[in-house]
Amino acid sequence: MTGTTDSPAPPQDGADLQDETVAPHRAATYSGVALLGWMDREKAIRFLLEDCLFEPDLTEEDAERLWREWRERAASLPERALVTPAREPLSEEERDHAERFLKYLGGLGITNAQVVKIDPMALVVAQHHIAIDVAMAYAERCNQGDSWMEQALPTVSRNPNLNITFARRNFDTDIDIDLPHGEFLFGVHPQGGFGPKEVLSQVMVMELGDRMLLGKGYHRLYGHIARTEGRLPERLSLAALDPGTLSAPSRTAAESADSAPNPGLSIFGSRPPVFADFFTEGLAMPVQLRRKRYQLQVRARWVASNEP
C-alpha cells in the first residue's frame, strides 16, 4: 500500500473530492465514492450511465472517457505487496461479544466461523462503490450509543416493519413487499411459513491466498473509519472470518491477470483495490449515486398439469 493510504482523512460528505461533472447533491441521490479504475469497461460504463447522476447527462462516449482516465490512474500504481492483515488480540469485552455472536450464529445453523480483529484498510475489496450518506448513518448510530461491535457483529435478529401489498385474482396471488434495503430474501422461516428474511448483516472477511477479502459490511466499515478519523488503534474492527477460502489462481493465470486489458487490477492481481482506496484522493472518484427502491415481488400461479 502506498504512503497516501496509511493515515487516511475520510471524507465526511464527499465535499473534499470534487469533479466538475458531478451533479449537485439532490434528494434523490446519495453522495458516494467509486473505484472506477478497477471496474472493467462494460461494468464502469453501465455504472456511470445507470447508477450515477451527472449534469449534463453523460453520453456513452463521455462515460468511456471518464473510465479510461481513472483506469490509467489505477494501472499506473506500483505493484502492491499485500499480506493478510495481522490478527490483533481481543480485549475481554470483545471476547465476550465474539462469544455471543458465535452463539447467535450457531442458533441460525452457521458453524465453523471465527471472529478476528483486524485493520480494515488493507482488505482487498470486490465492491467498487460506497454511498457515503448510508455509511455515515451507521456512524451516527454509534455516536448515539449503539455499540460498534453490535453493528459489526449483530447478536440479535431485527424485525423491521415492512409494507406488504396483496393482489389476488382467482387462485393467483401477487405480493409486493417494500424493503428498507436490498439485503432481504424470500424464504422459509424456522418456525414455518414463507416470508421475507433479512440477510445477516455482519462484517465478513475471507482468506484469499496471501491476502484477505472483505465480503460484507462495506458501508458499516466506511462509517466506522470515518467516525474514528482513520486513527489507529480506533479504526481496528472485529469481523467474522468465513471458514471458506478462495484459492489464488495458478502462476500462469496470475501473470495473465497482470496483462492488458486487466493490468493487475483484479482481486488476485498485483494492484488489487483495497479498502483504503475509498479514502484516497485521486483513486476514489466522487459521484452522486441514484437512490434505489427495493421490493420483493412474489408471484404465485395456480397450474394444473397432466401427470406423466
* Contacts (Cβ under 8 Å, ≥6 apart) of 156: 104
E strand or H helix at 290:
strand 285-290
**In one letter, which amino acid is 4?**
T
Phi/psi at 285 (5° precision): -85, 125
DSSP state of 98: H
Distance of CA 287 to the CA centre of its chain: 16
Query: What is d(CA 266, CA 257) in angstroms, rounded to the nearest whole number?
Result: 7
What confidence score (pLDDT) does residue 143 get?
74
Handedness of CA 87, 92, 98, 103 (dihedral sign): positive
Residue 170's region, left for phi above 0, alpha for psi from -120 to 50, else beta, is left
What confidence score (pLDDT) does residue 63 get?
97
- For the chain, 308 residues long, the average pLDDT of each consecutive 10-residue run is 38 36 65 97 97 94 97 95 92 96 89 94 96 92 81 86 90 90 79 79 91 95 95 96 73 53 86 97 96 91 92
What confidence score (pLDDT) does residue 16 get?
34
What confidence score (pLDDT) does residue 96 get?
96
What confidence score (pLDDT) does residue 221 get?
96
One-character DSSP codes across 124-158: EES--EEEHHHHHHHHHHHHTT--HHHHHS--S--
Strands 29-34 and 129-131 come out as antiparallel
What confidence score (pLDDT) does residue 2 get?
38
What confidence score (pLDDT) does residue 26 get?
60
Q: For the whole prediction, is pTM greater than 0.75?
A: yes
